[in-house]
Structure 1
Amino acid sequence: MEPFTFATSKQLKLNVCVRIQNLEGQKPAIPYSQLLKNPELKFVGSNLSPVSDLYISAQVYGDNKPLGVPVQTAYKSFKASRTWKEWLTLPVRYCDIPRSAQLAITIWDLGGPDKEVPYGGTTVKLFDTDGTLKKGRQKLKLWLDVESDGRTDTATDSTVESNDEMDRLEKQIKKHESGEIPRIEWLDNLAFRQIEQIQKRTIKRTTEHFLYVDFPRFDFPVVFCDFEYPTIAALAEAAASAAENGIATPTASSTSHASVTTGQTAVAAGSIPGEPIPAPVDGGMIRVYDPEAAREKDNPAELKHMNLVRSQRNGPSDRDLKPNARIRDQLNDILKYPPTHELNPDEKNLIWKFRYYLTRDKRALTKFLKSVVWVDSREVRQVLELLPKWAEVDVDDALELLGPAFTNHAVRTYAVARLKKADDNELVLYLLQLVQALKFERVQSGDNNSESSLAQFLVTRASENETLGSLLYWYLAVEMEFKRHKKLYERVVFEFMHQLEAATEAPERPKRSMLARQAQLNKTFNTLAIEIRDMKVKREKKIEHLKSYISDPAHGLLHFEPLPLPLDPSVVAVGMIAGKTQATPDPIIIRESNVFKSTLSPLMLTFKTADGGKYPILFKNGDDLRQDQLVIQTFTLMDQLLQKENLDLKLSPYRILATSPISGMIQFVASKSIAAIAREYKTILEFLKHHHPDPSAREGVKAEVMDNYVKSCAGYCVITYILGVGDRHLDNLLVTPDGHFFHADFGFILGHDPKIFAPQMKLCREMVDGMGGIDSMHFKLFKSYCFTSFTILRKSANLILNLWTLMVDAGIPDVEREPDTAVLKVQEKFWLEIGEEEAIGRFEVLIGESLNALFPIVIDRMHNITQYWKS
Structure 2
Amino acid sequence: MEEYSFAKSTDVDISVHVRIASLDGPYDPPPLSTLLQRPDLRFIGSNTSPYSDLYVTVQLWADSKPWTVPVQTAYKSFKNARVWNEWLELPISISTLPQSSQLAITVWDVSPTGGPGAKGHAIPFGGTTIPVFDKDGVLQRGQQRCCIYRHKEADPYSSSTTPSSPPPKRSRTPTGRLAGQVPTADEVELERLETLFKKHEVGEIPRVDWLDQMVFRAVEKKRQEVEASAKLALKASRSLKGKHSTREGVAEQDGGDGSDDHGSKHTLIVEFQRFDFPIVYTDFEYSPTPISFMPQQSMAGGNVNLKPPPEVQFGPGINGVENGLEGDDVNAPPLIRIYDPEVGQKDNPAESKHRRLVRSHRTGVLDRDLKPNAKIRDELNTIMSYGPTQELKGEEVDLVWKFRHHLTKDKRALTKFVKSVNWQDLNESRQAVQILPKWTEIDVDDALELLGPTLDNPAVRAYAVDRLRESDDDELLLYLLQLVQALKFEKISSDDSTQDSSLAKFLISRATKNLVLGNYLHWYLMVECDDRSPDQSKDHQKLFAKVEYDFMSELMQVPDGPERRKILLRQGELITVLSKISKDVRFSREDRPRKAQRLKKMLADPKNELTSFDPPLPLPLDPSVSVVSVYPEDAMVFKSSLFPLLINFKTTEGKKYPVIFKTGDDLRQDQLVIQIISLMDRLLQKENLDLRLTPYRILATSPTAGVVQFIPSISLAAAWAKHKGSILAYLRTNNPDATAELGVRSAAMDTYVKSCAGYCVITYLLGVGDRHLDNLLLTPDGHFFHIDFGYLLGRDPKPFAPAMKLCREMIEGMGGPSSRLFTKTFKQYCQTAFTTLRKQSNLILNLFALMVDANIQDIKLEPDKAVLKVRERFALGVSEEEAIRGFEAVVSESVGSVGAVVIDRIHDLMQGLRA
Which TM-score bucket, shorter chain as reference?
0.5 to 0.7
Identity percentage of aligned residues: 56
The alpha-carbon deviation at position 405 of structure 1 amounts to: 1.0
* Correspondences of 1:383-462 after superposition (within 5 Å): 383-443=432-492, 450-462=499-511
Note the alpha carbon deviations across 1:628-666, whole angstroms, 9 max, x for none.
Answer: 110110000000000010000000011111111110001
Which amino acid is 1:430 matched to? Y
Which residue does 1:684 correspond to in 2? 727
Which residue does 2:617 correspond to in 1? 563
Which amino acid is 1:490 matched to? A
SS at match of 1:511: helix
Q: 2:499 touches 2:505 (CA, 8 Å); kept in 1?
A: no
Quickly say closer, same or farther: Cα 1:292–1:654, change in 2 above 3 A.
farther
SS at match of 1:725: coil
- Quick check: which has more Rg, 1 or 2? 2
The alpha-carbon deviation at position 220 of structure 1 amounts to: 8.7
The alpha-carbon deviation at position 504 of structure 1 amounts to: 1.1
Q: 1:692 touches 1:701 (CA, 8 Å); kept in 2?
A: yes
Quickly say closer, same or farther: Cα 1:655–1:227, change in 2 above 3 A.
farther
Q: For 1:226 and 1:491, how far apart are their aligned partners in 2?
A: 45
Q: 2:491 touches 2:500 (CA, 8 Å); kept in 1?
A: no
Note the alpha carbon deviations across 1:668-719, whole angstroms, 9 max, x for none.
Answer: 1111111111110121110011111001112110000000100000000000
Q: For 2:775 and 2:703, how far apart are their aligned partners in 1?
A: 23
The alpha-carbon deviation at position 298 of structure 1 amounts to: 3.6
Q: For 2:567 and 2:549, how far apart are their aligned partners in 1?
A: 16
SS at match of 1:699: helix
Which residue does 1:843 correspond to in 2? 887
Which residue does 2:550 correspond to in 1? 495
Q: Could you say what the CA RMSD is over the residues aligned between the two structures, in angstroms? A: 2.2
Alignment of 1:469 onto 2:469: no
Match of 2:708 among 658, 666, 688: 666
Q: For 1:526 and 1:426, how far apart are their aligned partners in 2?
A: 32
* Correspondences of 1:2-21 after superposition (within 5 Å): none
SS at match of 1:705: helix
Which residue does 1:42 correspond to in 2? none
Q: Please give the TM-score of this superposition, normalised by the length of structure 2.
A: 0.62
SS at match of 2:630: coil
Q: For 1:291 and 1:655, how far apart are their aligned partners in 2?
A: 53
SS at match of 1:606: strand
Quickly say closer, same or farther: Cα 1:394–1:733, change in 2 above 3 A.
same
Unaligned runs of 5+ in 2: 1-302, 318-339, 532-537
Alignment of 1:310 onto 2:353: no
Which residue does 1:798 correspond to in 2? 842
Q: Please give the TM-score of this superposition, normalised by the length of structure 1.
A: 0.65
The alpha-carbon deviation at position 613 of structure 1 amounts to: 2.2
Alignment of 1:826 onto 2:870: yes
The alpha-carbon deviation at position 224 of structure 1 amounts to: 4.5
Q: For 1:465 and 1:570, how far apart are their aligned partners in 2?
A: 11
Alignment of 1:810 onto 2:865: no
- Residue-pair matches, total: 582
Which amino acid is 1:462 matched to? A
Which residue does 1:332 correspond to in 2? 381
Note the alpha carbon deviations across 1:42-94, whole angstroms, 9 max, x for none.
Answer: xxxxxxxxxxxxxxxxxxxxxxxxxxxxxxxxxxxxxxxxxxxxxxxxxxxxx
SS at match of 1:829: helix
Note the alpha carbon deviations across 1:518-547, whole angstroms, 9 max, x for none.
Answer: 100000001111111110011111111111
Note the alpha carbon deviations across 1:248-287, whole angstroms, 9 max, x for none.
Answer: xxxxxxxxxxxxxxxxxxxxxxxxxxxxxxxxxxxxxxxx
Note the alpha carbon deviations across 1:760-801, whole angstroms, 9 max, x for none.
Answer: 111011101100111212111010000001001001000000
Q: For 2:474 and 2:516, how far apart are their aligned partners in 1?
A: 9
SS at match of 1:762: coil
The alpha-carbon deviation at position 291 of structure 1 amounts to: 9.2
Match of 2:747 among 704, 724, 727: 704
Quickly say closer, same or farther: Cα 1:837–1:542, change in 2 above 3 A.
same
Which residue does 1:528 correspond to in 2? 581
Q: 1:398 touches 1:415 (CA, 8 Å); kept in 2?
A: yes
Q: For 2:442 and 2:341, how far apart are their aligned partners in 1?
A: 34
The alpha-carbon deviation at position 416 of structure 1 amounts to: 0.5
Which amino acid is 2:702 matched to? S
Q: For 2:846 and 2:457, how far apart are their aligned partners in 1?
A: 18
Match of 1:611 among 644, 653, 658: 653
Which amino acid is 1:503 matched to? V
Quickly say closer, same or farther: Cα 1:226–1:396, change in 2 above 3 A.
farther
Note the alpha carbon deviations across 1:13-43, whole angstroms, 9 max, x for none.
Answer: xxxxxxxxxxxxxxxxxxxxxxxxxxxxxxx
Unaligned runs of 5+ in 1: 1-179, 183-217, 230-289, 576-586
Q: 1:464 touches 1:510 (CA, 8 Å); kept in 2?
A: no
Q: For 2:660 and 2:344, how far apart are their aligned partners in 1?
A: 46
Q: For 1:313 and 1:831, how far apart are their aligned partners in 2?
A: 43
SS at match of 1:607: strand
Alignment of 1:625 onto 2:667: yes
SS at match of 2:854: coil
Q: For 1:181 and 1:360, how far apart are their aligned partners in 2?
A: 51
Q: For 2:353 and 2:702, how far apart are their aligned partners in 1?
A: 48
Quickly say closer, same or farther: Cα 1:353–1:734, change in 2 above 3 A.
same
The alpha-carbon deviation at position 304 of structure 1 amounts to: 2.6
Which residue does 2:792 correspond to in 1? 749
The alpha-carbon deviation at position 225 of structure 1 amounts to: 7.7
Which amino acid is 1:622 matched to? G
Which amino acid is 2:741 matched to? R
Quickly say closer, same or farther: Cα 1:774–1:366, change in 2 above 3 A.
same
Q: 1:470 touches 1:510 (CA, 8 Å); kept in 2?
A: no
Which residue does 1:726 correspond to in 2? 769
Which amino acid is 1:811 matched to? N
Quickly say closer, same or farther: Cα 1:538–1:349, change in 2 above 3 A.
same
Quickly say closer, same or farther: Cα 1:765–1:460, change in 2 above 3 A.
same
Q: For 1:433 and 1:425, how far apart are their aligned partners in 2?
A: 15
* Correspondences of 1:282-301 after superposition (within 5 Å): 295=345, 297-301=346-350
Q: For 1:771 and 1:392, how far apart are their aligned partners in 2?
A: 45
Quickly say closer, same or farther: Cα 1:330–1:594, change in 2 above 3 A.
same
Q: For 2:689 and 2:835, how far apart are their aligned partners in 1?
A: 12
Quickly say closer, same or farther: Cα 1:181–1:831, change in 2 above 3 A.
closer
Q: For 1:791 and 1:608, how far apart are their aligned partners in 2?
A: 42
Alignment of 1:789 onto 2:833: yes
Q: 2:496 touches 2:546 (CA, 8 Å); kept in 1?
A: no
SS at match of 1:600: coil
Which amino acid is 1:863 matched to? H
Quickly say closer, same or farther: Cα 1:449–1:484, change in 2 above 3 A.
closer
Which residue does 2:685 correspond to in 1? 643
Q: For 2:432 and 2:372, how far apart are their aligned partners in 1?
A: 21
Quickly say closer, same or farther: Cα 1:667–1:447, change in 2 above 3 A.
closer
Quickly say closer, same or farther: Cα 1:694–1:377, change in 2 above 3 A.
same
The alpha-carbon deviation at position 505 of structure 1 amounts to: 2.7
Q: 1:469 touches 1:510 (CA, 8 Å); kept in 2?
A: no
SS at match of 2:874: coil
Which residue does 1:543 correspond to in 2? 596
Which residue does 2:571 correspond to in 1? 518
The alpha-carbon deviation at position 614 of structure 1 amounts to: 1.7
The alpha-carbon deviation at position 441 of structure 1 amounts to: 0.4
Q: 1:678 touches 1:684 (CA, 8 Å); kept in 2?
A: yes
* Correspondences of 1:71-90 after superposition (within 5 Å): none
Q: For 2:370 and 2:495, how far apart are their aligned partners in 1?
A: 41
The alpha-carbon deviation at position 484 of structure 1 amounts to: 4.1
The alpha-carbon deviation at position 222 of structure 1 amounts to: 6.1
Which residue does 2:281 correspond to in 1? none
Q: 1:463 touches 1:510 (CA, 8 Å); kept in 2?
A: no
SS at match of 2:647: strand
Q: 1:318 touches 1:354 (CA, 8 Å); kept in 2?
A: yes
Q: For 1:376 and 1:181, how far apart are their aligned partners in 2?
A: 30
Quickly say closer, same or farther: Cα 1:223–1:614, change in 2 above 3 A.
farther
Q: For 1:551 and 1:700, how far apart are their aligned partners in 2?
A: 45
Quickly say closer, same or farther: Cα 1:429–1:223, change in 2 above 3 A.
farther
Q: For 2:313 and 2:362, how far apart are their aligned partners in 1?
A: 35
SS at match of 1:727: coil
Q: 2:801 touches 2:903 (CA, 8 Å); kept in 1?
A: no
Q: 1:654 touches 1:669 (CA, 8 Å); kept in 2?
A: yes
Q: For 2:304 and 2:343, how far apart are their aligned partners in 1?
A: 44
